[in-house]
Chain A
Amino acid sequence: MGRFRVTIEVTVTERFHIHELPNGLTLLGQPMDGVSSASMSVLIPMGAAHDPADAAGAAAVTAEWLIRGAGDRNSRQLNDALDALGCQHDESAQGEHLHVSTAQLGRNLPDILAIVADMLRRPRLEDDTFDPCRQLILQDLETLEDEPARKCNILLRERFYPHPLGRNVLGHADCLAVMQPADVRRHARAAMTPAKAILAVAGNIDWDRFVSLATQLFGDWQAAPAKPVDIAAQPRGETHIQKDTAQTHIAMAHASVTVRHPMYYAARVAEIVLSGGMSSRLFTEVREKRGLVYGVSSRYHSLKDYAGMFTYAGTRPEVAQTTFDVTVGEIRRLAEGVTADEMARARTQLKAALIMQGESTGARAGAIAADYYHLGRLRSLDEIAAAIEHVTADEVAEYQKAFPPDNLTVLVLGPEPVEIVTSH
Chain B
Amino acid sequence: MNFHEITLDNGLRIIAEVNPAAQSMAAGFFVRTGSRDETPGVAGVSHFLEHMMFKGTAKRSAADVNLEFDNMGANYNAFTSEESTVYYGAVLPEFQDRLMDLLCDMLRPALRQEDFDVEKNVILEEIALYDDQPRFRVYDGLMGHFFHSHPLGQSILGSRQSIGELQRDQMKAYFDARYAADNITVVTVGHVDLDAFVKKVHALCSPWKPSQAGRATPPQPSPVGVKILHDEKIVREHLGLMSPAPTAQADNIHAAQLLAAILGDSTGSRLYYALVEPALVDEASMTYDALDQAGGFMTFLSTDPDRAARVLEIAHTEFRRFMAEGPTDAELAAAKNKLASAATLKGELPMGRLTAVGFDWVYRHEYLPLPQRIEHMFAVTGQQIHELANTFDLTKTACLALGPLENI
Contact = CB atoms under 8 A, between A and B. Distances in A.
Interface of A: 1, 4, 6, 8, 12, 33-37, 39, 75-76, 79-80, 82-89, 103-105, 108, 131-133, 135-136, 139-140, 142-143, 145-149, 244-247, 249, 276-280, 283-284, 287-295, 314-316, 344-345, 348-353, 355-356, 358-362
Nearest to A245: B132
A347 to B, nearest CB: 9
Given A291-B119, A362-B345, 14 more contacts: A37-B341, A79-B268, A84-B334, A132-B278, A136-B282, A139-B236, A146-B134, A278-B54, A280-B70, A288-B118, A291-B118, A348-B72, A348-B73, A352-B74
Contacts of A291: 118-122, 125
A147 B137 CA distance: 12
B64 interface: yes
A84 B129 contact: no
Given A84-B337, A139-B304, A8 B92 contact: yes
A148 B132 CA distance: 7
Contact of B276 (A8, A136, A359): A136
Contacts of B9: none
Contact of A349 (B70, B129, B278): B70
Contacts of A247: 125, 128-129, 131-132
Contacts of B118: 288-291
Interface string B47-71: 0000000100000001111110111
B24 A359 contact: yes
A359 B350 contact: yes
B341 A87 contact: yes
A395 B171 CA distance: 46
Contact of A294 (B64, B129, B338): B129
Contacts of A37: 341, 344-345, 348
Given A293-B125, A359-B23, A147 B235 contact: no
Contacts of B71: 1, 4, 6, 279, 344-345, 348
A93 B279 CA distance: 18
A295 B348 contact: no
Contact of B23 (A6, A79, A290, A355): A355
B173 interface: no
B276 A277 contact: no
Interface in B113-139: 118-122, 124-126, 128-129, 131-134
A284 B233 contact: no
Given A83-B267, A314-B129, A348-B71, A135 B338 contact: no
A34 B22 CA distance: 8
B267 A139 contact: no
A80 B75 contact: no
B304 A80 contact: no
B257 interface: no
Contacts of A35: 348
A352 B279 contact: no
A273 to B, nearest CB: 10
